[in-house]
Structure 1
């Protein structure tokens, strides 16, 4: 079981007892407004089991980790990444937090820990992150972690019949440690 620690958080592997919080996060239309229309429960359950299975870099699957507070062990969200290309040493990052955890720096803090771990463990050269142009909170998280806007993909994502521009961000591992 993977566990990473920050000053305020524990970032750890998904376990069976996380199902209800995982489901609540993935089924909330407001939290998912820039991600997807929430899937039916059976699809979310399949995702949960996939995310709670053992993972290895280069599998093409997401390494999803639970973010919880150190003081109360409260589930506040998920962070993770997956290897886009082993040969090009590139990984994509993502995060999703409960509404009660927004605006407290938890996404930034957990993502920084994840990036540090991935650099040391897998020799990642570049991290990428994507968010809807309208998702200003997510863009701030990436920027605080050192990501730079590399481009805007116009009308890239369709969610419920609404087209969203998608911002593409990048972070070179060498930039993180300057």
Structure 2
């Protein structure tokens, strides 16, 4: 089920355990993890644990997580993927993060657009969801650029870092995807 995805500047491939040094650098940055449901990592073993866990979910077809690789340099600059796959209802939730040094360069929308093409054309999903903290303005801008529709706020929907947080729900339907 997991296949590589290529965009103009990026290669998205299933995470490997040997990606842990690069991903640890990203996940240890408090600015990157600010809106993630994890605290910034303190050691590389945490990255290895998460990668192993995500790969187990992929084997069970419950999630898929990709390392985002910049094609020209071969560097891992982030990760993205389907946090939950629901084939019965033909939908999935997406998530993504980039190394701070790559913010503002259009990599996030490019990676997500690649995920969307894969979701709609290969996995034959109908709906892609994204849940974003209302304060995460940069992520909201990415979703709006890709024509996701704001559906409302899920009040105190999840507990993150010891507190209940609101999440804005965004979605994109296959019929709304602009080619």
TM-score bin (small chain): 0.7 to 0.9
Say yes or no: does 1:55 pair with 2:24.
Answer: no
For residue 25 of structure 2, what is the aligned residue in structure 1?
Answer: 24
Matches within 5 A, 1:26-175: 26-36=27-37, 37-38=39-40, 41=43, 42-52=45-55, 55=58, 59-60=61-62, 62-175=63-176
Deviation track 1:90-127 (CA, whole Å, cap 9, x = no partner) reads: 11111011100111110100110111012122110100
RMSD: 2.3
TM-score (normalizing by structure 1): 0.87
CA apart distance, 1:158 = 4.1
Contact in 1 for aligned 2:24/2:41 (Cα 8 Å): no
Unmatched tracts of structure 2, length 5 or more: none
Alpha-carbon spacing, 1:133–1:3, altered in 2? closer, same or farther (3 Å)? same
User: Could you give the per-residue CA deviations for residues 40-65 of structure 1, whole angstroms, max 9, x where no partner exists?
Assistant: 64544221113345835x722x2111
Question: TM-score scaled by structure 2?
Answer: 0.86
- Whether contact under 8 Å (2:61, 2:85) holds in the other structure is no
Q: How many residues align?
A: 176
Using the TM superposition, give the Cα deviation of residue 82 of structure 1 relative to its aligned residue in structure 2, in angstroms: 4.1
Distance 1:100 1:71, change over 3 A: same
Residues in 1 aligned to 2:40 and 2:158: alpha-carbon distance in whole angstroms: 15
Structure 1 unaligned spans of 5+: none
